[in-house]
Amino acid sequence: MSAIPDNAVYELTPMDGNPSSRANLQFVLFYKTAGCQRNAASAQLRAAYYQALSHYPILYGRLERTADERTGCASVQVVVAKETRAECMPSYSEYAVSERISNIQAADYNWAAWPAQLLSICPVRRPAADSQKDDPLVQCVVTWHADGLGLLISVDHSIADGVGIDILLNQWAGAARAAISSAQDPDPKPELPVDFDHAALYAELRHEQPQADWFVRHVDSVDLAQAPGETGAIMDSDPRSPRDVELALRANVHALRVTPAALERLYADTCPADAHVPVIRLAYALMWQRYTVAAAPAPSADSQCFLNVIHSARHLVGRPHYIGNAVCPVYMQQTSAQLHAAATGQLAQTIGRRMHAVTAPQWLAALQMLQDPQAYAKFLTVFANPHARQLTVSNISRLRFFAADFGFGPPVHATVYPMLIPGFATWLPLGASGGLHILWSMPAQVAERLRNDKVLTRYADFLF
């Protein structure tokens, strides 16, 4: 196993210093464990957890945040040092709970029926006064049930995105599976580094010439007079505690189910006769259009509406292992009048034209944009403005963690807590047969309109 270095500093991107990045990504899995010896499995899971983490020294660090006195822009780095205190280390807790896994399956994505221990850690945003607090960057909770176990792994969004956590989960599962099956533990090396060192990315790109893509040019055109005062779902000015605010915002998350049959119906109804459009793009178009109609019932040529699709990683944040094979997430805008009048198939074709492979020169141009304080303020206006009429889709339906086997077979239920920004939707696989579960944060008034939207409900069912 890798040794934890005595001293190391990992420089992160300016976006990670933004208050809206003060969030934790939380992946939750539930397993049936018939015939499992709990004591032995507990010891093996814990040992495998720290074995997997040992490949990634950055996860043993603590965040240090500073602000430029002249510009006020925040910067953040991760420091791994000898004096790192025990409370900064990755945490691991176990609880015995009364809820049965079968009841959690029946409740589906309604986490009101989940064990309280899974809802008690990791506030979405730390208050501004606590921004220097040395919370562990990685936290894990294991809940033991009469008929199975639950796993929650939470990683600070400043250092990891969904793909990085997916890699870490599968490393952990591989080590645990080998131990639980009594096989020879191969100590698998990480498939890709969960090492988001900003300086390392620059070294990778040092021979490139920056090339601004459409999104970078779009950011450059922003009028800074329109920049929001605060960004993110939870404002620093909110007098409530982060936990109270998080619980209130979770009430605004709704679960929708789109079955394979509904996707086939969507394709038959909306795909242009003279073209083939992937059904996932038709789904993007449908959800964006119906959400806009619900959020802005009166069409207007002056009201701008936005679509942001994240396929695998946060947009324009440099990650070394995405170079060469990344897909650029979609960012586009139309007026509410255009969206009211658009045909779903034609809108899906427009979305498809916004998708393109990210090249190394484009990564470099994006990083340079994030280094400039004025350009970065424009970027936040475009990307992180919670007041905009914006649908953000985090499509993680192809991640492998939904089948992560820790030695008990695949999970019987798996999910990711959605980001609690209005308009943010996490897309998860429905099951082996296909289809989608969509966890969607939206204002109550918008949700009520969508429940009564005859176009949307032809293809999607509201679970809650």
Task: Give percent of the chain above pLDDT 90.
Answer: 22
pLDDT at 74: 63
pLDDT of residue 184: 45
Query: Residue 199 in 3-state DSSP?
Result: helix
What's the mean per-residue pLDDT of the chain? Answer: 77
pLDDT over 60 at 19, yes or no: no
What are the pLDDT digits (tens) for 307-343?
A: 888 754 433 333 433 333 344 567 788 888 999 999 9
105: its two tokens? 């399956």
Residue whose C-alpha is closest to residue 303's, from 314, 315, 293, 313: 293
pTM, whole model, 2 decimals?
0.83
- Please give the DSSP secondary-structure letter assigned to residue 214: H
Q: What is the CA radius of gyration of the chain?
A: 22
Q: How far is CA 80 from the centre of its chain?
A: 25
pLDDT band at 421 (very low <50, low <70, confident <90, very high): confident
Q: Is the Cα dihedral 7, 12, 364, 368 positive or negative?
A: negative
State the Cα–Cα distance between residues 193 and 206, nearest whole angstrom: 20
* Mean pLDDT within 362-373: 77
Name the DSSP class of 452. Answer: T
3-state class of 196 per DSSP? coil
Asked if residues 266 and 345 have their Cβ atoms less than 8 Å apart, the reply is no
Which phi and psi angles does 334 have, rounded to 5°? -145, 165
Say yes or no to pLDDT of 271 above 80: yes
Residue 295 pLDDT > 80, yes or no? Answer: yes
Out of 100-109, 192-201, 364-373, the most confident range is: 100-109
CA 296/CA 119 separation, integer angstroms: 33
pLDDT for residue 400: 82
State which H helix or E strand residue 299 sits in. Answer: none
Confidence category of residue 13, pLDDT binned at 50, 70, 90? low
| Alpha-carbon gap, residue 98 to 145, rounded angstroms | 6
pLDDT band of residue 388 (cuts 50, 70, 90) is: low
Please give the residue that has the higher pLDDT: either 82 or 353: 353
pLDDT band, residue 457 (cuts 50/70/90): very high
Amino acid type, 137 = L
